[in-house]
Amino acid sequence: MGVVDRGASGTHLAAREIVLCAVVGDNGRVKLYRDEAIVLRTHKLGEADRIVTLLTRNYGQVRAVAKGVRRTSSKFGARLEPFAVIDVQLYAGRSLDVITQVDTLAPHGRALGSDYSLFTTATAMAETADRLTEVPGEPATQQYLLLAGALRALADRRHPATLVLDSYLLRALAVGGWAPSFTECARCGESGPHRAFSAPVGGAVCMGCRPPGAASPAPETFALLGALLAGEWVSAEASEEKHRREASGLVAVYTQWHLERQLRSLRHVERA
Amino acid sequence: MSAYDGVVQELIDELGQLPGVGPKSAQRIAFHILSADTERVHRLATALTEVKARVRFCEICGNVSEEDQCRICRDPRRDGGLLCVVEEAKDVVAIERTREFRGRYHVLGGAINPIDGVGPDDLRIRELMTRLADGEVTEVIIATDPNVEGEATATYLTRMLRPMGIVVSRLASGLPVGGDLEYADEITLGRAFEGRRSIDV
């Protein structure tokens, strides 16, 4: 098979073949593929190259080499900035893929780089997406769509940045399989509302299941968390500052507990 | 996997640690050194130990220097009212090559990059603030890299410097000299439009 073999599930195979047909021309053996992607982060490589971590729509996370992009004469260096949504063509290399062409779909870099709190917020989202899609070759279309939507909301300043971040973190974890519960008890399923919150157990806990050291957030905070998870912006935006702060703290603890490591950028997020 | 004995392998291993030098290149360089005359090898060895022993960072601007203060900070002909903020010492050299700038520099030591754990406190921003406190500097030119991290660092600095009543400017982004407009990417071209200036004849 002359095409690149990425992601094994049947549904994605079809999607991949459609994408591949578009680029595999007369020479069917050329290992090129094309997809939409979000630039999560970049590393310097050698003299003038970069390794770019992409979250693609159909192939999951891809680490690819962008050659010569650090030179001022580079034609696509500007398109491979973090947070940019791009249409990218890659060549499947032996260890890392090589980026051959890039087109911009949404250049969020400008809007997010010129506002410090938006920049730090977007970085925390990109790092979370990076961690959640670490398994190479595993398609992560839902994570892609979620991050693309969150970055757009952030760049357009549609909602307050901290709410976008917390909502993104909760929903990204839910997609990843760590959906929190904010009404029923996360252990016994008893219907709520409950008064205690425990990140290790998975959200709200009833008085009977409450482990030692569980937090006791305000009922309004529970309501805000529920709204953020469901994407109910009207009620989320009606919340008070102190409940937003409390919710952010709980979301940070919940995220880092379930990702089993610290998010380095979360500490630097500037909450306006 | 050591193919050679003792010191030869040690040399190859050490050379292989250098950036851009793979195992094969390391072996080639090692054998080049072996075949070179003693005088040249001695000069190389001296240069290596001297650079480590003598070079340090300028206590004012953070640039590399052999003295406590670098050549540029000591030069009285430099304009003390202009300060150019750069990410790395390499950027000082790049700007010096233009011969356009006659002020002094401040090297931050990188750009804000939270995903790698680099926040504002990890850069030499506090030193910059101390330097600006005496009021001698009237304009700060922010010359961080034109990428998202550099842009965010510039935004952060601007926010801190504006209340101090200092003129803050940012290097322009735009078309490279000698290039064709049709080949410019849309982001750079957009910036060039944004930063266009009127021509005074």
Q: Which of A119, A127, A269 sits opposite B152 (nearest CB)?
A: A119
Burial class (CB in 10 A: 0-12, 13-18, 19+), B106: buried
Q: Decide if the complex's ipTM is over 0.95.
A: no
Residues A98 and A37 in one domain: yes
In a domain, A134, yes or no: no
Most A CBs within 10 Å: which of B25, B149, B187, as the mutation test of the A interface? B187
b/e A94-106 (16+ beta carbons within 10 angstroms → b)? eeebebbbbebbe
* Residue B45 burial (10 A CB sphere; 0-12, 13-18, 19+): exposed
Distance (Å) from the C-alpha of residue A74 to the closest C-alpha of chain B?
A: 9
- Nearest-by-CA chain B residue for A79: B187
Q: Is the pLDDT of residue A49 over 60?
A: yes
pLDDT at A85 over 90: yes
Is residue A6, in this structure, part of any structural domain at all? no
B161 contact partners, CB below 8 Å, separation of at least 6: B132, B140, B168
Using a CB-CB distance cutoff of 8 angstroms, which residues of chain A are in contact with residue B147?
81, 109
The predicted-structure confidence for B100-146, as pLDDT tens digits, reads as follows 899 999 999 999 999 888 999 999 999 999 999 888 899 999 999 98
- Give chain B positions within 8 Å (CB) of A81: 147-148, 187
Beta strand segments in A60-191, E: 60-66, 85-91, 97-106
The domain segmentation of chain B, as residue ranges, is 6-54, 75-198
The CATH code of domain B75-198 reads 3.40.1360.10
In the chain, the amino acid numbered B78 is R
**For residue A21, what pLDDT is reported?**
45
A119 part of a folded domain: no
pLDDT for A28 beyond 90: no
Tell me, what CATH number does A63's domain have? 2.40.50.140
Q: How far apart are CA B139 and CA B137, in angstroms?
A: 6
Ramachandran quadrant class, B156 (left: phi over 0; alpha: psi -120 to 50; beta: rest): alpha
Alpha helical stretches, state H, A65-136 = 108-113, 116-132
Does residue B50 have a pLDDT over 80?
yes
Average pLDDT over residues B156-185: 87
Residues A185 and A91 in one domain: no
Residues of A in contact with B120 (CB under 8 A): 268
- Which amino acid appears at position A242 of this protein? K
- Strand-pair partners of A60: A56
The architecture of the domain spanning B6-54 is Orthogonal Bundle (1.10)
CA distance A260 to A253: 11
Residue B23 CA to residue B14 CA, distance in Å, equals: 10
Distance of alpha carbon A237 from alpha carbon A224, whole angstroms: 9
Predicted confidence at residue A173, as pLDDT, reads 93
pLDDT at residue A8 is higher than 60:
no
CA atoms of A241 and A221, how far apart (whole Å) = 10
Mean pLDDT value across chain B: 89
User: Are B152 and A116 within 8 A, CB to CB?
Assistant: yes
Domain tally, chain A: 2
Distance, in Å, from the CA atom of B12 to the CA atom of A268, rounded to the nearest integer, reads: 41
Give residue A119's pLDDT.
93
What length does chain B have?
Answer: 201
Q: What helix, strand, coil percent values describe chain B, rounded to 5?
A: 50, 10, 40
Q: Which domain holds residue A250?
A: 159-268
A167 alpha-carbon distance from chain centroid: 11
Which of A180, A178, A208 has the alpha carbon at shortest distance from A194? A208
pLDDT at A6 over 50: no
Residue A115 lies in a domain: no
Position A7 in a domain: no
